[in-house]
Chains A and B, each alone.
Chain A
Amino acid sequence: MVTAFLTGLYFAILQFCYLILLQINVSSAYLTYMLIVVAWMTGSIAGLWWKKMNPATGVVLGGLSYYAVLLLVVFLPFETLTLGLSALGVMFSGLWAGRFFVVYLPRFGGADRLFFHENNGFLLGIVVFFVGFTIFGKHFLFLAPAVLACLLLIGTAFSTPRTTP
Chain B
Amino acid sequence: MTGTPDYKKDFLLLFLVGACLSIAQFVMVRDFVTILYGEEVVIVLVTAAFFSGLSLGYCFALRFNQRLFERLFAASVFLHLSFPLSYRYLAVWISGFPHLGGWAYLALLFFYAFLFSALFAAFLPRLVERHAPALSPENSLKWFYSIELTGFLAGFVIVGLSWNHPVAHLLPAYWILLCVVLHLVLRNRGLTAGFAAMAFVASIFLEGWDLQSAALLYERKHGKKEPQVLMAINSPYQRVEVIQDGRGEKYLYLDGLLNLNATDLEFLNHYIARIPARLISPENTLIVGNGTLSSVGDVAALSRNVVSVELDPGVLLAGSRFFTPPESLTQLANWNLVVDDGKHFLKTTEKKFDLIIMDVPSPLTIQEACLHTVEFYKLAREKITPSGVIAVQLSGPLQRNNRTPARVVAALAKVFKEVMVVESKRADRGFAYASDRLPFSPGDLIREARSFESALEIIPANRVHVFLDRAVPLSLDNMDLVLGRGWERFFDRYFGED
- List residues of chain A with CB under 8 Å of any chain B CB: 20, 23-24, 26-30, 34, 37-38, 41, 44-45, 48-49, 77-78, 98, 101-102, 105-106, 110-113, 115-116, 119-120, 122-123, 126-127, 130-131, 133-139, 165
When A111-B128, A119-B55, A137-B477 are in contact, do A102 and B142 touch as well, CB less than 8 Å? Answer: yes
Contact string, B133-150, partner A, CB cutoff 8 A, digits 1/0? 000111101100110011
B65 proximity list for chain A (CB < 8 A) = none
CA distance A120 to B48 in the complex (A): 10
With A78-B348, A112-B58 as contacts: A49 and B146 at CB distance below 8 Å: yes
- Cα–Cα distance between A138 and B145 once the two chains are bound (Å): 34
CB within 8 Å for A23 and B48 given contacts A28-B311, A41-B153: no
Query: A29-B311, A106-B137, A110-B125 are contacts. A116–B59 as well, Cβ < 8 Å?
Result: yes
Q: Does B129 contact A (CB under 8 A)?
A: yes
Which residues of B are found within 8 Å of A34, using beta-carbon distances? 156, 160
Which residues of B sit under 8 angstroms from A135, Cβ to Cβ?
478-480, 483
A41 contacts B152, C-beta separation under 8 Å: yes
Measured between beta carbons, the chain B residues less than 8 angstroms from A110 are 62, 125, 129
Q: A110-B62, A134-B366, A137-B477 are in contact. Are A27 and B341 (CB under 8 A)?
A: yes
In this assembly, does B61 line the interface, its C-beta being within 8 Å of a C-beta of chain A?
A: yes
Checking B124, B137, B479 against A137 with a beta-carbon cut-off of 8 angstroms, the contacting residue is B479
Contacts of B51 in A (CB 8 A): 119, 122-123, 126
A selection of 18 A-B contacts at a CB cut-off of 8 Å is: A24-B370, A28-B311, A34-B156, A41-B149, A48-B145, A49-B146, A105-B141, A110-B129, A111-B128, A111-B129, A115-B58, A123-B52, A127-B44, A131-B483, A134-B479, A136-B477, A165-B138, A165-B139
Bound CA–CA A133/B481 (angstroms): 11
- Set of chain A residues within 8 Å of B476, measured between Cβ atoms: 24, 137-138
Contacts of A23 in B (CB 8 A): 367, 370
A38-B156 contact given A49-B142, A123-B55, A137-B475, CB 8 Å threshold = yes
Q: Are B343 and A139 in contact (CB under 8 A)?
A: no
- Nearest residue in A to B140 (C-beta to C-beta)? A111
Q: How many A-B residue pairs have CB under 8 A?
A: 132
Chain B 142-190 residues near chain A, CB threshold 8 A: 142, 145-146, 149-150, 152-153, 156, 160
If A106-B138, A115-B58 touch, whether A101 touches B483 (CB-CB below 8 Å) is no
A contact face: mostly helix, strand, loop, or mixed: helix
- Asked whether A134 and B482 contact (CB < 8 A) given A102-B142, A119-B51, A119-B55, the answer is yes
Q: Is the CB of A126 within 8 A of B61?
A: no
What's the Cα separation between A22 and B137 when bound, in Å?
A: 37
Residue on B with the closest CB to A31? B236
Assembly CA distance A106 to B125 (angstroms):
14
With known contacts A77-B347, A116-B55, A116-B59, A98–B479 Cβ distance under 8 A? no
Bound-complex Cα distance A20 to B366 (A): 9
- Chain A residues near B141 (CB-CB < 8 A): 48, 101-102, 105, 111
Distance (Å) between the CB of B156 and the closest chain A CB? Answer: 6
Interface string of B338-352 (1 = CB under 8 A from A): 001101100110000
A101 vs B61: C-alpha distance when bound (angstroms): 17
**Contact of A119 with B477 at beta-carbon distance under 8 Å, contacts A41-B153, A98-B145, A110-B129 already known:** no
Q: What are the residues of chain A within 8 A of B78 when measuring CB–CB?
A: none
Given contacts A45-B150, A122-B51, 13 further A-B contacts (CB under 8 A): A23-B367, A24-B476, A41-B152, A45-B146, A77-B347, A78-B343, A101-B145, A105-B141, A106-B137, A119-B54, A126-B47, A130-B483, A133-B366
**A48 interface neighbour in B142, B341, B344, Cβ under 8 Å:** B142
Asked whether B137 lies within 8 Å of A105 as measured between CB atoms, the reply is: yes
The reply to whether A165 and B483 form a contact with Cβ atoms under 8 Å apart is: no
Q: Which among B40, B145, B344, B367 is the interface contact of A26 at CB below 8 angstroms?
A: B344
Binary A-proximity of B97-115 (CB < 8 A = 1, otherwise 0): 0000000000000000000
| CB interface residues, B 32-49, toward A, < 8 Å | 40-41, 44, 47-48
Contact check, A120 vs B61: say whether CB atoms are below 8 A apart: no
* Chain A residues in 8 Å Cβ range of B344: 26-29, 78
CA distance A135 to B121 in the complex (A): 33
CB distance A37 to B156 under 8 Å? yes
Pairs A-B, 9 closest by C-beta atoms: A137-B477, A165-B138, A112-B125, A116-B58, A30-B236, A78-B347, A27-B344, A134-B483, A111-B125
Within 8 Å CB of A130, what residues of B? Answer: 40-41, 44, 483
B237 within 8 A of A: yes
Q: Which residues of A contact B138 (CB under 8 A)?
A: 102, 105-106, 165
Instruction: Kindly state the separation between the CA atoms of A111 and B54 in the bound complex, as whole angstroms.
Output: 13
Q: Hey, which chain B residues are within 8 Å of A165, CB to CB?
A: 136, 138-139
- Across the interface, which residues of A come within 8 angstroms of B137, CB to CB? 105-106, 111
A48 touches B146 (CB 8 A): yes
Nearest CB of chain A from residue B102's CB, rounded to whole Å: 17
For B47, the chain A residues whose CB sits under 8 A away are 126
A48 to B148, CA, bound (A): 12
- B409-451 interface bits toward A, Cβ cutoff 8 Å, 1 = contact, 0 = none: 0000000000000000000000000000000000000000000
Q: How far is the CB of A118 from chain B (nearest CB, A)?
A: 9
Complex Cα–Cα for A129 and B136 (A): 37
CA distance A45 to B152 in the complex (A): 12
Docked complex Cα distance between A68 and B481 (Å): 30
Q: Across the interface, which residues of A come within 8 angstroms of B40, CB to CB?
A: 130, 134
Closest Cβ–Cβ distance, residue B218 to chain A (whole Å): 27
Separation of A136 and B477 alpha carbons in the complex (Å): 6
Complex Cα gap A45–B121 (Å)? 18
CB pair A28–B341 under 8 Å, yes or no, is yes
B126 nearest CB neighbor, chain A only: A112
The docked-state distance in angstroms from the alpha carbon of A49 to that of B59 is 26
Given the complex, which residues of A lie within 8 Å of B146, measured CB to CB? 45, 48-49, 98
For A98, what are the chain B residues with a Cβ–Cβ distance below 8 Å? 145-146, 149
B residues 344-403 touching A (CB-CB < 8 Å): 344, 347-348, 366-367, 370, 375
